[in-house]
């Protein structure tokens, strides 16, 4: 997938990467990290009733030109554009979120990158317990530490890959996926469900997440949670404080038409 208004130089400027780039796993990991630290996971357009476009040009304009973030299809779609510009092979995978009390459809989208003779899971759009660096699909059943977080990739009995995160003193399932070929258009129904269905969390609540070197900031509704090595600080915000946090802490440029 590529957008006519996407350039690698523009992308690198947006995420603040000024180091070398090439079709290698070191570059993929560096760009993934920089994007996570500069492009928030956010659903403000859904909350404003504007809908979420999957047109590549719209995604590039929203994130690169207008200083916004997006949810999984948008931020992973943008990363896919960078991979394509670098000449790094990738595929889309459809993932089933596993943290709900009932079985849910495969509404999450992630990427599997093939580089250096290996396949790697890359995901910049899973919110608070998303991975922060590529995970090798061949590296199974082993705890992988990424900054303050701990992840493990396993194979379920049905052959699917299962991503788990250490949270609340135990391993918690995050999502499951297989390597069935997916095309970009295959995510249109999931995008419609996530942006319009009353049971979808993105319709119910404002959700904004931005990772950093030392933790993450999470805004759900008017509740701000800041996670750092010193612990977790939670604060209830009024709407004026929310606006200030979105612009300051999360670095979002907010157009007048986005209701916050």
For the chain, 260 residues long, the average pLDDT of each consecutive 10-residue run is 93 97 98 98 95 97 97 98 98 92 89 97 92 97 95 95 94 96 96 95 96 95 95 95 96 68
How many Å apart are CA 212 and CA 218, to the nearest integer? Answer: 11
What lies within 8 Å, CB to CB, of 74 at 6+ separation is 52, 59, 62, 63, 125
CA dist 4 and 188 (Å) reads: 20
pLDDT of residue 151: 97
pLDDT of residue 255: 64
Closest to 194 (Cα-Cα) out of 101, 132, 127 = 127
Q: For every residue of 135-201, which 3-state class applies, written as one string?
A: EECCCCCCCEEECCEEEEEEECCCCCEEEEEEECCEEEEEEEECCCCECHHHHHHHHHHHHHCCCCH
Predicted structure pTM score? 0.95
The pLDDT of residue 254 is 79
Span 8-199 CATH architecture: 2-Layer Sandwich (3.30)
- Cβ contact 245:219 at 8 Å: yes
In this prediction, residue 260 carries a pLDDT of 52
């Amino acid at each position: 997938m590529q957008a006519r208004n996407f350039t690698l130089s523009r992308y690198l400027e947006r995420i603040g990467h000024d180091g070398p780039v090439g079709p290698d796993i070191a570059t993929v990991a560096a760009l993934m990290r920089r994007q996570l630290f500069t492009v928030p996971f956010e659903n403000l357009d859904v909350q404003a009733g504007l809908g979420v476009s999957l047109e590549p040009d719209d995604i590039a304009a929203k994130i690169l030109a207008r200083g916004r973030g997006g949810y999984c299809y948008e931020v992973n779609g943008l990363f896919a554009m960078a991979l394509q510009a670098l000449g790094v092979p990738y595929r889309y995978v459809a993932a089933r979120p596993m943290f709900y009390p009932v079985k849910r459809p495969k509404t999450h989208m992630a990427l599997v990158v093939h580089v250096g003779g290996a396949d790697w899971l890359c995901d910049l759009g899973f919110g608070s317990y998303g991975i922060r660096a590529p995970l090798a699909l061949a590296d199974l059943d082993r705890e992988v530490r990424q900054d303050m977080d701990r992840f493990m990739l396993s194979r379920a009995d049905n052959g699917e890959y299962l991503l788990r995160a250490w949270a609340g003193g135990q391993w918690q399932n995050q999502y499951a996926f297989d390597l069935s070929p997916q095309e970009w258009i295959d995510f249109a129904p999931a995008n419609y469900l996530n942006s319009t269905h009353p049971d979808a969390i993105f319709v119910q609540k404002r959700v904004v997440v931005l990772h950093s070197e030392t933790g993450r900031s999470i805004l759900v509704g008017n509740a701000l949670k800041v996670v750092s090595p010193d612990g977790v600080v939670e604060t209830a915000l009024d709407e004026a404080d929310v606006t200030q946090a979105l612009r300051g802490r999360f670095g979002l440029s907010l157009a007048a038409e986005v209701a916050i």
